[in-house]
Amino acid sequence: MITVEQAERLIQAQVQDFGTELIPFESALGRSLAEDITADRDLPPFNRVTMDGIAIAYSTIEQGITSFKIKATQAAGDQPINIDHADECIEIMTGAALPDSADTVIRYEDIEIKGSKATLLASDIKKGQNLHLKGVDKKKNEVVASAGQLITPAIISLATSVGKVELLVKKLPRVVIVSSGDELVDVDEKPSLTQIRKSNSYTIKAVLRQYGLEGDLLHIPDDPKITKEKIAHCLDNYDVILMTGGISMGKFDYIPKALEEMQVKTLFHKVHQRPGKPFWFGKHDSGVLVFAFPGNPVATFMCLHRYFLPWLNASQGLSDKQPVYAVSDRDFTFMPALQYFLQVKLSFSLQGQILATPIEGNGSGDFANLADTDAFMELPMERDEFKQGEAFRIWPFNQLMI
Ligand code: AMP
Ligand code: MG
């Protein structure tokens, strides 16, 4: 049996590059950007007005003029309208392009308009105020987002603002999610008293979808012959096989043997951890990787976040995520010589600390507890006592929370 760190190292040694592809920006959220995006013109592209009000030439105020004749009104998108005389102004809206003859914008709150005259109410007008000048954010051809960045809503904002209809992204592996077990029925079936719905498959699918990855689903009954046939099909059609169930010591746990017989080499079987001790990882000569997680829902969920997602991130060329630590808000004891992944609820202190409240639940079968928690806290194997106030690494699984 190996340690969590050893398992992590063996998995990270199998990072693969699946190439790149061009995809529409609408489908790019969560993907890994594989090109630098550059500005197709200055950002902003013109001297942009940032307040509704009037545009004037500041020199007029220096001459002591405080009342302006409104020459015209200019909306965002209109061609700039120039001032012909010093005591004129243009009524102008946020987002409009400042005319060359003006250099300052005074907001409505600081003027009084009567008929076609605008009179200053405020005296602290500064030259150049209420403007977002051409090119101050980025110059034409300057990089606005870099290869290796995760495509977030902010990257979509930049890409679309510079007219990128398609984005070059890292290709995702073709993934199949394989459930196994004769006790399993589908979600829309009515289980008998002794049957279970195959929720793990949909849990994995949902987690992968956060990365823009659509995993296919497949089910294997507890039958050695069919197990081998289905594994052969997966090896032919996918880059990664994610399995749940059938890898423990049970009489019907045929998967490790079937994988070996199909020339998938065991890279490890069993890790000093709870949950997820029977975790199996292997590789076929063709390069196909097999992550076989124990069927217990919490074990599958933990192994997916602790091992598969970091592998996926690395394979996608995404810059390493910084480890996240949280401070335990109470003492905790865990005696077995295993690395324990404790389920915790997160909260945030006013000092900016992440606080973790352990919510133990009833072991790796108790997935109801997952809905009340936000992360796994990885507790060092060599210790039994963990004190309130100590910080430990966490593996968050509520993407929108942290
Ligand atoms: P196994 O690893 O096959 O021994 O399964 C361990 C436990 O997890 C058993 O209680 C199974 O019924 C359950 N289990 C296995 N696969 C799934 C699945 N896809 N969805 C939900 N529970 C599962
Ligand atoms: Mg089983």
Q: Which two tokens stand for residue 121?
A: 């109410």
Ligand 2 mean position, distance from CA 265 (Å): 21
Minimum-distance ligand 1 atom for the alpha carbon of 179: 19
Question: What integer pLDDT is reported at residue 260 of this predicted model?
Answer: 95
Are the C-beta atoms of 137 and 129 separated by less than 8 Å?
Answer: no
Cα 267 to Cα 287: distance, rounded to the nearest angstrom: 13
- How long is the chain? 402
In three-state secondary structure terms, 234 is: helix
| pLDDT computed for residue 321 by the predictor | 79
How far apart (Å, rounded) are the C-alpha atoms in residues 88 and 106?
13
CA neighbor of 366 nearest in space, from 292, 265, 302, 296: 296
* Buried-exposed string 107-134: b where 16+ CB fall within 10 A, e elsewhere: beebbeeeeeebebeeeebeeebbbbeb
Q: Which residues line ligand 1 (CB under 6 A)?
A: 179, 181, 183-184, 196, 198-201, 244-246, 248, 250, 294-297
| Cα gap 128→357, rounded to integer Å | 52
Two structure tokens written together for 273? 């951890």
* Cβ count near 309 (within 10 Å): 18
CA of 191 to the centre of ligand 2 (A): 16
Q: Ligand 1 centroid to 245 CA: how many Å? A: 5
Q: Of all protein residues, whose CA lies closest to atom 10 belonging to ligand 1?
A: 296
- Ligand 2 centre to CA of 240 (Å) is 20
Please choose from 196, 207, 242, 247 the residue to mutate so as to test ligand 1's pocket, defined by most ligand atoms within 8 A of CB. Answer: 196
CA of 171 to the centre of ligand 2 (A): 32
Q: Using H for helix, E for strand and C for coil, what is the string for 311-333?
A: HHHHHCCCCCCCCEEEEECCCEE
Q: What is the pLDDT of residue 364?
A: 66
Nearest CA to ligand 1 atom 6: 295
pLDDT at 400: 73
Quote the CA–CA distance of 283 and 293 in Å, as a whole number: 15
In this predicted structure, what is the pLDDT of residue 184? 97
What is the pTM (predicted TM-score) of this model? 0.92
Task: Point out which residues pair with 281 in neighbouring strands.
Answer: 268, 291
What's the CA-to-centroid distance between 367 and ligand 1, angstroms? 11
| Of the candidates 295, 252, 309, 254, the residue with the CA atom closest to the CA atom of residue 8 | 309
In the chain, what are the domains? 4-18+172-315 (3.40.980.10), 21-43+146-170 (3.90.105.10), 48-132 (2.170.190.11), 324-396 (2.40.340.10)
In sequence order, which residues have a C-beta less than 8 Å from that of residue 296 and are 6 or more positions away? 275, 276, 364, 365
Read off the DSSP letter of residue 194.
Answer: T
The ligand 1 atom at the shortest distance from the C-alpha of residue 196 is 12
Exposure of 257 in the CB half-sphere (CA atoms within 13 A): 14
Report residue 196 as tokens.
């279970």
DSSP class of 44: S
pLDDT tens string, the chain, 402 residues long: the values are 999 999 999 999 999 999 999 999 999 999 999 999 999 999 999 999 999 999 999 999 999 999 999 999 999 999 999 999 989 999 999 999 999 999 999 999 999 999 999 999 988 999 999 999 999 999 999 999 999 999 999 999 999 999 999 999 999 999 999 999 999 999 999 999 999 999 999 999 999 999 899 999 999 999 999 999 999 999 999 999 999 999 998 999 999 999 999 999 999 999 999 999 999 999 999 999 999 999 999 999 999 999 999 999 999 999 777 899 999 999 999 999 999 999 999 999 999 999 999 998 887 678 899 999 999 999 999 999 999 999 999 999 987 777
